[in-house]
Every structure is written in structure tokens, then in C-alpha cells.
Structure 1
Amino acid sequence: MSVLVVGSGIIGLTTAHLLSQSGKKVLIRSMAPLSSTCSRGAGGLWMPFHCDDVNTNRWARTTLLKYLTLAETPEEPLGKHVEIVQTTVYKNLTQFSKNDTDSYTNPTSSHPTWASENPELVFQAINMSQLEWQGSLSSMHIPSTMKDNYSDAWTFKAPIIDSLKYMEDLKGMCLEGGVDIKEDVEYTDSSSILSSAISSGCTSIVNCSGLGSSTLTSDSDLIPGRGVLYYYKRPPTFNSCILIDDGPIGSPDFPVYAIPRGDVVAVGGCYLEGDDEGNIRESEHDLLTRNAEMLLPGEGWEKVGEWAGLRPVRKGGVKLGVNEELSNGGVTWVDNYGHGGSGWTVADGCAEDVREIIG
């Protein structure tokens, strides 16, 4: 059985690799090189983010377990690109007192559902005094402005993936496994993809084209969720992931974060639905500079890059399953797109579902 996978982001590569491992002959056709995908610029943090689907937690758990296994085997090709980092999300919660020093296991409705379903994260909802105490016992960085603006925090140990290097090695593993990869392929609509599959002798198509599906499948529920980042050279002593999407410093549209990823720290950001600007605006340059000054300790941080990207957000959730309308000519069309800001968080779980569908 031959399968045509459309798209070479983390969703497409992960799906193609898993199908190839299952004995399928796999072709990847992408309209852009790997280095131009949204996935390569992502912060690479495992944490469900704007992926509203009933299956998100299940997909995320499968992917989490994969990353945890990889992190324990740094000698493996992909393992060297995964690290477990202490992550802090600053919050203003009301479930327990700021002075309650015995609330480590205090249940709260503010716990995200993915936290309770993944004990490996060692998730805690704690107050600022507890966080400062933890910080005094470790190398955790707590920005000075946090104490005056936030009462509480979530802490957990999250996998962070050095996204571009991981994808490059995953692409190499696909090639070694016999996957036929071609980039810069021009597809204009679903018919052109179907014709390509038929001419290549494929009996299945897996559409992992992300935001491109708004054109290729005329999916009007897909919208861009724009993000922007600065990259700073990472010193070996910086091992804290910091996230803020509560006021007064952060917000849902303008989350503030610093994610140590490989040899850089990614500082962001924004989440702007419907915004398709491909470059960083002047006001956003100022925003990212301020965020870096606030989150990164000391001075002399060297900026080494920047990124603006469009997350594939889909109203109504991820599109994963057989598309009966587009299946034709003996070719089964399977969709796997619309993962929002969670591509790195759900990639392996979604690929497993695709494998079960194709058989």
C-alpha cells in the first residue's frame, strides 16, 4: 500500500514516519521546504495551546510519553533534541490563600485537565511564597516583576523540543526508511492532490497541510493564529521556561513567554486570530524587546533571530478522519490538520489515529 502525505511540518513528518515504520510505502509532497513551515519556528513546548478538541488530551498524552522516552535516550537521533525543563505559568488564582503553605496538593478547578491526566509532569498549583522557596533550592529563574503582579503559579516539568533540528533528523529518518520526499510541489486544490496520488499509485492521501487546507480543501473553518518570536543565544545556565497569559502583564492575545529551546531562548509573543501578516510589526518589535528585558536575567543577551508564523487554528477542532467527499478514484482521503498552537503537543497521538484509520 502506498500513501501520499501532503505537508512536511511536524504533523506531516511524524505521520509519514509512523506509516513508513508500519510497512507502508510513503511519499511526502510539500508546497514549501521544511525550513519554511510554521512548525520549525515554534517554541517547541509540550503544552496544549488553542487546540480545542475532545481528543486533544488523549493525543497529547501519547505524544508526551514519546518525548519522555526520547529525553531518556539522548544518544538516539531524536532524543538529543528533547529536554525536560521546569516550567512556570504565572497566574492570579483565588482557590487558596497566598499564605497557605500547605496547599501543594490542594485541588482546584483552575487545574487544566491535561495536568491531572499526566502525573509525569509533576504538576503543582502553588502560591508565590512557595514558588520563591522552590526557586531558592534550584536554578529556577523568577523574574522580579512577578511577585508584585501575580499571586500564584502552575509548575510542571515539560518536554521542550529543539524544533528545527528535530525535524531535520526526523526527515532524515524518513529518507533512510525509504520515504520519497519532494518539496516546492504546486498543488492548487484537492483535485490536483488526487491526480498526483493516482499517478503515483497511492491508495491513500493524508492531508497534513495545516493552514494550506483553507485553500486545498476549501475549509472555511481554518483561520491563522499568528505568533511572533525573538530568539536569543542561550547560556548554559538558563533552564527555566516562563509563561504568562493572565493579566496584568500577559493576556490571551499577547501571552508573554521565554522558552529555552536547544541553543536559543524563544521570547514571545502573541496569539492573534485572523491576522495573516507575515512579518513582525514595529510595535511588536518593541513588545518583544520589552518582554526579553523583563524575563531574561541580567544583561548582554544576544539576539540571534526572529520569526513570525501562522498557527493553523480550526473552529470546531482538529480535522482528523476520512473525508468521504474528497475520497475518489479508489483513493481514500484522510485529513489531519487544524492543530492550532499544539502541533508539537499532539503530533504522535494524531499520527497513531491516522495509522489506525489507514490500517
Structure 2
Amino acid sequence: MIVVGGGVAGLTTAVLLAESGRRVRVWAREPAGLTTSAVAGGLWWPYRIEPGLLAGAWALESLAVYEEQARRPQETGVRLVDGVHHGSRLDELGEWAGRVPGLRECAGGVAARLPVIDMPAYLAWLRERLAKAGCEVEVREVTDLAAVPAGVVVNCTGLGARSLVPDPEVHPVRGQLVVVENPGITTWFTCVDHSRTGSTYFIPQPYGLLLGGTAEEDDWSLEPDPATAAAVVARCARIRPEIAGARVLGHRVGLRPARSAVRLERRRLPDGRPVVHNYGHGGAGVTVAWACARQAAGLASAGL
């Protein structure tokens, strides 16, 4: 079978298939380091994903995997880090929140020790696991799922599904971030206002402090906007003033693949071959990756 898509959804699904003994290849339009997954903030949290009930269950299932991976941070790029979701309340988060170890209300929000994933390192680690399992990853663009020469096709193309399936319901939610030299901040912080395009968060990563962010619906631009970057830094500096003088190391832009609901199902191509769809994870692709990959791998293997 062939998994189409080289972001976290595609690589995780391929890992589960390959390590279960399936013969699988990955076709990716671009190297993993250039995918939307590579520029993700990397904080585990079910953000901008529907349906909420399923997303909560998927997030919890994936959380258990990340907690185990966090025992080997140098190998996996996954660490457990303390932080605060400012403005959040436990009774507004859904049933899943009651099952997050240590999640508690604090002054101004909720606090927890959660997985923070260094995405470039993590994607490289997934690629290594695939290589050890005998799975090839090829940089190869797909323009027609029906033309993919495999008995089973697994579609993990994220925003690419909009034209590939085609599925016009998939649309971008643009996120812009700034990477600065970390002035000594060891905890993460988020303050999200869903009624605005701008939010405030910072996440310590090994390569620097990641500042965010934006959530701009139907914006396809991958070019960093200087005014937006300045506003991001200013918002974060209001929380931690030392950020104001931090040296800027780089800018990141990613397009979250949003959809009214994650598409995770098995269908048929025109010639009758199975195609398994696993896309539309919005701002929580990393958060739900392992649970959705397990379901997709099960659907792909059914009947084989």
C-alpha cells in the first residue's frame, strides 16, 4: 500500500503499518521538513479541531504515546513541560479534560505539564523508524489518487486534499510564528481568543522560543508579514517583558488544514480499490496523530 502525504499524519500512519509488517511506501510532495507539520508549535492540545467529542478521545489516546516518548527526549524530541492556558476553565473544556493528568485550575486559567514536541526533530525520528521498518519515503507529487499504483491508498495529504480528492470543504487557517533567542523562559503560555485572528503564546523549544500566533481563515499566503510578526512579539512581551529584547532567529508560516470535521474513513476509488482518508485535523494534527493513525491503519488493513 502507499501512504500519500509526508506530514505527521502520513508518517505516523505509515509507521504503524510498516511496524505491523505491512509493505508500505510513502509518497510525499515535499520533504518532511517543508510540511505544515514542521512549522507547528508542537504543544499537545486539541485546538481548532472538530468534532470535539472524538477529538478529545483521540487527543487522550495520543497523549499516552507522547508521555511514553517523553522518557527519551534526546531521541524523540518530545518533552513534558509546565505551562498555563490563560483564560480557560476546566468546566468549559469537555469531558476529555478531566482525564488529563495534573490538569488543574489556577489563577487566570488552567495549568498542566504537557508534551511539547520539537517538530523538525520528531519528524526526522519518525523517518528513522520508517527506514528501520523497511519503508521508503519518496518525494513525489500526486495529482490523482486513482493513479497511485497500490492495492490500498491512504490519503494523508492535509490541505492538499482540497484539490486531490477533491474536497472543497478543506480550507487553510494561516498561522504565523516568530522564533527568538530564548531569554530564559522554561514554561509555555497560551491565551487564545477564538473571536480574533491573533492569539498569544510562547513555547520553549531546543532551537529557541517559539512565539505565536495567528489563525487567519482562508488565507493562503506563506510569506511572513513583518507587521504581523511585530504584533506577535509585542503581545508575548506584554506577558513576559524580556521577550521584547530577544534576538529574532526566524519566521514561520503554516497553513492548518481545517474542516468542519476530520475525515477519517474508508471509501472506494473508481476502479474499486480501497482509499482511506485521514485528513482535516485543523490545528491539532500533532495532538491527535497517533489515535487517528491507528484508526487509519486499521481501516487500511481491513480485509487484507
TM-score category (smaller protein): over 0.9
Corresponding position: 1:313 with 2:295: no
Per the TM alignment, residue 286 of structure 1 is displaced from its structure 2 partner at its CA by: 2.1
Fraction of identical pairs, as percent: 29
- 1:92/1:181 CA distance change after superposition, 3 Å: closer
Note the residue ranges of structure 2 that are not aligned, 5 or more in a row.
Answer: none
What SS class does the counterpart of residue 213 from structure 1 fall into? helix
Asked if 1:125 is matched to 2:73, the reply is no
Kindly indicate whether the alpha-carbon contact (under 8 Å) linking 2:72 and 2:78 is maintained by their aligned counterparts in 1. Answer: no
CA contact (8 A) 2:27 2:141 kept: no
- Asked if 1:338 corresponds to 2:293, the answer is no
Secondary structure in structure 2 of the residue aligned to 1:229: strand
Distance 1:233 1:19 in 2: 39
Distance in 2 (CA, whole Å) between partners of 1:279 and 1:112 is 35
- From the CA coordinates, give the structure whose radius of gyration is larger: 1
Residue 157 of structure 1, CA deviation: 1.2
SS of corresponding position for 2:286: helix
Q: 2:82 pairs with 82, 86, 101, which one?
A: 86
Question: Is 1:187–2:132 an aligned residue pair?
Answer: no
SS at 2:50's partner residue?
Answer: coil
Q: CA deviation at 1:92?
A: 7.6
Cα pair 1:258 1:295 within 8 Å, conserved: no
Alignment of 1:343-358 (within 5 A): 343-358=285-300
TM-score by length of 1: 0.79
Q: What does the per-residue CA deviation read over 1:294-322, in whole Å, with 9 as the maximum and x for residues that have no partner?
A: 2445264221111111000012x100111
- Distance in structure 2 (CA, Å) of the matches to 1:254 and 1:331: 43
- TM-score, normalised relative to structure 2: 0.92
Using the TM superposition, give the Cα deviation of residue 195 of structure 1 relative to its aligned residue in structure 2, in angstroms. 2.1
Q: Is 2:71 the counterpart of 1:62?
A: no
Q: Distance in 2 between matches of 1:168 and 1:92?
A: 33
Instruction: Give secondary structure in 1 for the equivalent of 2:42.
Output: coil
AA aligned opposite 1:352: R
2:27 corresponds to 1:29? yes
Aligned to 1:99: none
Instruction: Find the counterpart in structure 2 of residue 136 from structure 1.
Output: none
User: Are the equivalent residues in 2 in contact too, given 1:63–1:349 (CA < 8 A)?
Assistant: yes
Structure 2 counterpart of 1:41, from 39, 42, 54: 39
Q: Distance in 2 between matches of 1:284 and 1:82?
A: 29
Instruction: Tell me which residue corresponds to 2:92.
Output: 110
Name the residue aligned to 1:228: 176
- The answer to whether the 8 Å contact 1:43/1:261 transfers is no
**TM superposition shift of 1:285:** 2.3
Contact 1:161 1:262 in 2 (8 A): no
Residue in 2 aligned with 1:97?
Answer: none
Q: How many residues align?
A: 299
Q: How has the CA–CA distance of structure 1 residues 290 and 283 changed in structure 2, closer, same or farther, with 3 Å as cutoff?
A: same
Offset at residue 251 of structure 1 (A)? 5.2
Structure 1 gap ranges (5+)? 94-107, 128-151
1:58 Cα deviation (Å)?
1.6
The worse-fitting range, judged by mean Cα deviation, of 303-312 and 256-265 is 256-265
The structure-2 alpha-carbon separation of the partners of 1:69 and 1:9, relative to structure 1 and needing over 3 Å to count, comes to same
Deviation at 1:358, TM superposition (A): 2.2
Cα distance in 1, alignment partners of residues 152 and 270 from structure 2:
10
- RMSD (CA atoms): 1.9
Does structure 1 residue 303 correspond to structure 2 residue 248?
A: yes
